[in-house]
Amino acid sequence: MPRFKLTIEYAGTRYSGWQIQKNARTIQGEIDRAVRAVTARKDFELYGAGRTDAGVHALAQVAHLDVSTTLPPDTLRRRINDDLPADINILSAVQVPHRFHARHDAAGRRYLYQIATRRTAFAKAYVWWVKDPLDLARMRAAAGTFVGMRDFKSFTALDARDPDDDTDTGAPPPSTLVLVDRLEIARDGSLVLIDIEGSHFLWKMVRRIVGVLAEIGRGAAEPGVAAQWLSESSPAVTRLTAPPSGLFLERVYYRGDRRDVPLRPATPLA
């Protein structure tokens, strides 16, 4: 049975996240349905590099697909796309060795968050509109707090569920230690872009980092609170969780992949 590496883009607005759920529409569920329709097979495996939550988007999610088919990879991709809704698109499909694993072989992940500095009629599903002016210098002063190997226990939910971990819910919670390699903040038109790259990310971790940075940027908190809230739990962190609409899984890295990809918006806003 051949194994295919799929690279997938999707708008997560209408879905309850990546992972298949009972009585909920999900990205994985839609792709699973399309594979069944195209290949007439039920005995296949579709495994993602990580889970994204409801309303979160992806520019380049990665999954591996084990399915018995004689279709060439690009033909398989096109036929699956023909059966998918318009807001899910398989960008590429390549046959890979069976030792390749979408999640276990991932060397890093990169997320993009988009904050709009103006009200928008068209991009609401892809941004978080923050009405107050944002001081990027203050945000950058706090951003360094999160770079390096840090314990993000106070920036995730109590069970520390890892969206990049597909283990059973009965398994022990994962470690809350995360290596963040880079956190970049830039302005592009009416967008403030927050780009974060690391080994993996805990449930709601990126959205809570963004929420704290926005609070600092609007002047409602000092840059020093980032270190304080990282070291000790505060209800403010939960309250400041940014909405899922502005979050994109931008890239999943594997050994040998180039990481010097420039920061740019997913949906430009002039």
Would you please indicate which residues are annotated as catalytic (active-site) residues?
53
Alpha helices in the chain (DSSP H): 27-39, 73-83, 136-143, 205-217, 225-231, 235-239
Alpha helices in 40-188 (DSSP H): 73-83, 136-143
Q: Can you tell me which residue has the tokens 């997320």?
A: 111
Say how far apart CA 247 and CA 166 lie, in whole Å. Answer: 20
Q: Are 247 and 115 in contact (CB under 8 A)?
A: no
> Pick from 194, 1, 196, 224: which is nearest to 116 by CA?
194
User: Residue 169 has what DSSP assignment?
Assistant: T
